[in-house]
Structure 1
């Protein structure tokens, strides 16, 4: 298998890595505070994000063509942001242990990264247009 190091150095790759780091830190904070519902939501989003990062890094998205991976990535970003936002706001507003507050704050940072990732990927998706049409539109709008 070929590793795509260019993806890891791209804006999308850096944002995905930052998402994973913030979700991991939030997971550690919630684990230290022993909050199972927050742990479950954070683990779920961490696993899905890491699987998508692995998919893009190993270029499996080019081999598994039965899904439209950018759209799945956008849906993951949107629903993940909503899920993490709800649980982070609950953690921040009802904390009894400082680790829960820290996990909620880091979770809110992950929400910002998830929204940014969804925005970046959504802007790159073209529906019902060939690649040449989008390049012509981008070149004509720049001129």
Structure 2
């Protein structure tokens, strides 16, 4: 009985996710968000800084969700669909935000942040497209896995 009390719950860590295409894409998104954040902060534009930090944190939480395999434990959401909607919404939002930053820049930091924001929007679009391709709604799970493996 004392052995059961001494056993701590173990957390599975999926380092292979960070080496996968989606993991590399998520890390690249986080890097571009961080660069855009620094540029907007240097340019002292808080309206762009806030949106960039928020999307950085959302992407960081999704990466932690996949790396710690919490998506297997928290099954009340369909996480790939949530991730796809986040990426799609963020693509649209960052496209508009970056175009606004480019159109109204007065400081070089805002210009560079707008350009990096457009790069982030491109990465987010690729992420949402790959997630959309992988999500199947009409096929049973075993058929979907066979099609993805081919």
Mark yes or no: TM-score above 0.5: yes
Q: For 2:148 and 2:121, how far apart are their aligned partners in 1?
A: 30
Unaligned regions of 5+ residues in structure 2, if any?
1-10
- Residue by residue over 1:11-45, the C-alpha shift from the partner in whole angstroms, topping out at 9 and shown as x without a partner, is 00000000000000000000000101101111111
- Residue by residue over 1:32-69, the C-alpha shift from the partner in whole angstroms, topping out at 9 and shown as x without a partner, is 00101101111111111111011001000000000000
Q: For 1:138 and 1:63, how far apart are their aligned partners in 2?
A: 23
Unaligned regions of 5+ residues in structure 1, if any?
none
Which residue pairs with 1:129 in the alignment?
139
Which residue pairs with 1:36 in the alignment?
46
Is it true that 1:72 corresponds to 2:82 in the alignment?
A: yes
For 1:1-143, list aligned pairs within 5 A: 1-135=11-145
TM-score, structure 1 normalization: 0.93
Count of residues in Structure 1 that have an aligned counterpart in Structure 2: 140
- RMSD over equivalenced CA pairs, Å: 1.4
Q: For 1:46 and 1:81, how far apart are their aligned partners in 2?
A: 13
SS in 1 for 2:83: helix
Q: Which has the larger radius of gyration?
A: 2
Change (3 A) 1:106 1:133: same
Displaced runs of 4 or more, over 4 A: 135-139
CA displacement at 1:134 relative to structure 2: 2.5
Q: For 1:84 and 1:138, how far apart are their aligned partners in 2?
A: 30
